[in-house]
Structure 1
Amino acid sequence: MSEHRAQPELLMPQAVLSHTTAELSAKYTGVFSPQTVERYVFESYAALRRTAKIHTHLTSLAGRFAADRLTALAQSQGAAPKDVPEVLFICVHNAGRSQMAAALLAHRGGRLVHVRSAGSAPTHEINPTVVQAMTEVGIDLGAEFPKPLTDDVVAAADVVVSMGCGDACTIYPGKRYLDWELDDPDGQPLDEVRRVRDDLDTRVRQLLTELTTPVLS
């Protein structure tokens, strides 16, 4: 009897993910097969489910994650345009430094850059103190979530900025790799997180200048 009651709960995520697969397959008609899209959607769901403490809205987040990964894959294969530099920020948990850096660069750069972030061992939520520190400077991280590092987003990036995650990132020729040494805000008081935030903001501003300044021949 209990097995029959559990069945609808098991089918619900699959139904939502199948609907997401159909929508993304239509978007990428002629670029990726429906089978590839389906694999990305269900793999993305499984990857997020491994770290999620609460599964509410997990299918929606998986859809967003899969869509971004498919865009990155299309970019790396030359099937989607790259109109601006692509920057990828990586830390261990994708809950502090990489989230702050990505949000700051997106805020400062606007449409001049496109930003992604990921973690080599992502946790289940963004550090609440990090969220508070970013809110203080007018940046809302409420819609963001930790994401695992995948090869497709690395392949699509022009600049990969690592912060304390060692050799987790695949090395591709022709890309710019930076290693920013910053303290991990995990478990730190608000004043310390603010210091890391401001340090990141200085580095992000410099990177944005480098990415958007024309090279004189």
Structure 2
Amino acid sequence: MAESSGKPSVLFVCVHNAGRSQMAAAWLTHLAGDRVEVRSAGSAPGDAVNPAAVEAMAEVGIDISAETPKILTIDAVRESDVCITMGCGDTCPVFPGKRYLDWKLDDPAGQGVEAVRPVRDAIKVLVEGLIAEIAPRTGP
């Protein structure tokens, strides 16, 4: 567990931090609330979040329009319990004792909202499984 808050922390990484990792971070925040600390970053961040990803998330009531792509830092990895990569290959630094997952998801860059919707929905299913594992609801 991350020492700062006692909550599990998750870092989502994709190349541009403009689509998949932003949607995953938004889903995790939306579905887990304050039970999980959420970060996202890119190995080569884009200039802005993919407008089709913003639109696809808005369709399910989640606003990511204010998010901005961020550069992946060693500290972000060091401070996270689980690092989830999405098609960025070997660019994510590896630290012993961390859990690494690689989610195989199509890159929605440059595609319309029709192409982004199935990626959005696949990410939701993966995030729900992750929450059940690292931050299950307790009590009634």
TM-score range, shorter-chain basis?
over 0.9
Whether 1:97 aligns to 2:31 is no
Which amino acid letter does the alignment assign opposite residue 135 of structure 2?
A: T
Secondary structure at the residue paired with 1:167?
helix
RMSD, matched Cα: 1.5
Deviation at 1:144, TM superposition (A): 0.7
Partner residue, 2:82: 159
Deviation at 1:192, TM superposition (A): 1.3
Deviation at 1:143, TM superposition (A): 1.9
Which amino acid letter does the alignment assign opposite residue 92 of structure 2?
A: C
Identity %: 56
Which amino acid letter does the alignment assign opposite residue 211 of structure 1?
A: I
Partner residue, 2:55: 132
Q: Deviations over 1:166-187 (max 9, x none)?
A: 1111111111100000000011
Partner residue, 1:116: 39
Which amino acid letter does the alignment assign opposite residue 85 of structure 1?
A: P
Q: Deviations over 1:126-168 (max 9, x none)?
A: 0101100000111111221000000001000000000010111
Secondary structure at the residue paired with 1:199?
helix
Separation in 1, partners of 2:76, 2:29: 16
Higher relative contact order (CA 8 A, sep 6+): 2
Q: Which has the higher helix share?
A: 1
Separation in 2, partners of 1:174, 1:190: 38
Secondary structure at the residue paired with 2:91?
coil
Partner residue, 1:144: 67
Q: For this pair of structures, how many residues does the alignment match? A: 137
Which amino acid letter does the alignment assign opposite residue 104 of structure 2?
A: E
Separation in 2, partners of 1:85, 1:177: 14
Deviation at 1:117, TM superposition (A): 0.2
Aligned positions of 1:37-56 closer than 5 A: none
Separation in 1, partners of 2:115, 2:65: 21
List, as ranges, runs of 4+ consecutive aligned residues in structure 1 with deviation greater than 4 Å: none
Q: Deviations over 1:15-48 (max 9, x none)?
A: xxxxxxxxxxxxxxxxxxxxxxxxxxxxxxxxxx
Q: Deviations over 1:57-114 (max 9, x none)?
A: xxxxxxxxxxxxxxxxxx97x5xx2321000000000000000000000000001101
Rg (Cα) greater in structure = 1
Q: Given the alignment, which residue of 88, 91, 98 partners 2:11? A: 88
Q: Deviations over 1:184-205 (max 9, x none)?
A: 0011221110000000000000
Which amino acid letter does the alignment assign opposite residue 88 of structure 1?
A: L
Q: Which has the higher strand share?
A: 2
Aligned positions of 1:15-34 closer than 5 A: none
Which amino acid letter does the alignment assign opposite residue 104 of structure 1?
A: W
Structure 2 unaligned runs (5+)? none
Output the TM-score relative to the length of structure 2.
0.93
Whether 1:196 aligns to 2:111 is no
Structure 1 unaligned runs (5+)? 1-74
